Amino acid sequence: MAPKALITGITGQDGSYLAEFLLARGYDVIGLHRRTSTVTFERIAHLTDRLTLVPADLMDESSMIRLLRDHRPGEVYNLAAQSFVQTSFAQPLLTGEVTALGVTRLLDAILLVDPSIRFYQASSSEMFGKVVEVPQTERTPFYPRSPYGVAKLYGHWITVNYRESYGMHASSGILFNHESPRRGLEFVTRKVTFNAAAIKLGLQKSVSLGNLEAQRDWGFAADYVHAMWLMLQQDEPGDYVIATGQTHPVRELCEIAFDQVGLDWEDHVVVDQQFFRPAEVDLLIGDPSKATDQLGWKPEVGFEDLIRMMVDADLAALKKGS
């Protein structure tokens, strides 16, 4: 019988890549999506005839219990979250409900229905926040700097707690930033690549950004979903840092993106205070040695190739008018 996996957050960037990855390996894929007034299947439109899509919500434990009872997955990947850091400052309680307590609701539903289900929690480098050491490993102390980071830290520890309390195969992937042409337009990489393409096509003249000195360890989303799967194939559950080990400032992101369309970024980027955060994470750089040694995982696509790929995808999409 084909293995069966449930993905929460299947309509998001990572959900779409993970669904592709699991389908290619012969899985039956169940996608949990929340009810919305318009369809949000844009990223999985090419897959919908091969997926089982079930409405449920991380805010509603009984909806997840029913889903688990009806579909009986062997693996659950919890990717659903309010995932935008800036929004977490404006909506801290909603972020806590979904991104923190939502994890407990799902773990508890698994405990009630079938504790042998293997569980993946989408933890985040944002938990390191005001970093205590560089680079960050699985042993680095956490110091979150946003309501989102605090919520993710709760999700991380409740995953560890259910593992230790109930012997569940529950793993936490501490993923550093990962991007793709399917990245949401509000995140800085896609904001820059999309606007560079739009400026090149004469659709606008400039783009407004916040902190150009912030540094991130940026990888390619399709590489990172592979690591999620590898964690659930191990005999023992664990926590793993997934990163490239290299960091770049937002300024360099701008240089590469505008270079790809033959423009000078300094002629088009405007700094605007509204995009600065009340508290910032200045220097994220991950050490993925444990994942390399134990999972055999390594990133395939480097930062510059990733940004050039995203600009090309945005140019092509804008030319097509989508």
Radius of gyration of the chain (CA): 19
- Which residue blocks in 186-302 are alpha helix, DSSP H? 188-200, 221-232, 250-260, 289-290
The C-alpha torsion from 114 through 115 and 117 to 118, rounded to 10°, is 170
Under the criterion CB under 6 A, does residue 159 sit at the interface with ligand GDD?
no
Under the criterion CB under 6 A, does residue 122 sit at the interface with ligand NAP?
yes
Q: Is 20 a catalytic residue?
A: no
| Side-chain half-sphere CA neighbours of 12 within 13 A | 22
Give the separation between CA 153 and CA 150, rounded to whole angstroms: 5
Q: Which residues, in sequence order, are bridge partners of residue 220?
A: 179
The residue within the footprint of ligand NAP, chosen from 5, 22, 30, 58 (CB under 6 A), is 58
Q: Which part of the chain contacts ligand NAP (CB under 6 A), choosing from 53-61, 65-73, 204-212, 271-279?
A: 53-61
Picking from 161, 179, 187, 192, the residue whose alpha carbon sits closest to that of residue 86 is 187
**Helix, strand or coil, per DSSP, at residue 39:** coil
Give the separation between CA 173 and CA 240, rounded to whole angstroms: 5
| CB-CB contact of 279 with 145 (8 Å) | yes
Binding-residue total with ligand NAP (CB under 6 A): 25
User: Of ligand GDD, ligand NAP, none, which one sits near residue 12, judging by CB under 5 to 8 A according to partner kind?
Assistant: ligand NAP
Under the criterion CB under 6 A, does residue 85 sit at the interface with ligand GDD?
yes
Indicate which residue of 17, 77, 83, 126 is catalytic: 126
Q: Which part of the chain contacts ligand NAP (CB under 6 A), choosing from 4-12, 191-199, 227-235, 248-256?
A: 4-12
Picking from 241, 228, 216, the residue whose alpha carbon sits closest to that of residue 139 is 241
Q: Is 148 a catalytic residue?
A: yes
Under the criterion CB under 6 A, does residue 124 sit at the interface with ligand NAP?
yes
Whose tokens are 């993923």? That residue is 175
Q: Which part of the chain contacts ligand GDD (CB under 6 A), choosing from 58-66, 87-95, 185-193, 307-315?
A: 185-193
Q: Which part of the chain contacts ligand GDD (CB under 6 A), choosing from 22-30, 165-173, 183-191, 254-262?
A: 183-191
| Side-chain half-sphere CA neighbours of 51 within 13 A | 28
Binding-residue total with ligand GDD (CB under 6 A): 23
| CB-CB contact of 36 with 57 (8 Å) | no
Under the criterion CB under 6 A, does residue 184 sit at the interface with ligand NAP?
yes
The residue within the footprint of ligand GDD, chosen from 8, 16, 78, 124 (CB under 6 A), is 124
Under the criterion CB under 6 A, does residue 269 sit at the interface with ligand GDD?
no
Give the separation between CA 233 and CA 21, rounded to whole angstroms: 14
Under the criterion CB under 6 A, does residue 305 sit at the interface with ligand GDD?
no
Q: Is 240 a catalytic residue?
A: no
Using the minimum distance from each CB to ligand GDD, give the nearer residue, 80 or 232. Answer: 80
Using the minimum distance from each CB to ligand GDD, give the nearer residue, 27 or 224. Answer: 224
Indicate which residue of 27, 77, 120, 148 is catalytic: 148
| CB-CB contact of 286 with 125 (8 Å) | yes
Give the separation between CA 213 and CA 266, rounded to whole angstroms: 14
Binding site for ligand GDD (CB under 6 A): 83, 85-86, 124-126, 176-177, 186-188, 191, 209-211, 214, 216, 250, 275, 277, 280-281, 284
Binding site for ligand NAP (CB under 6 A): 8-9, 11-15, 34, 36, 40, 57-59, 79-83, 98, 122, 124, 175, 177-178, 184
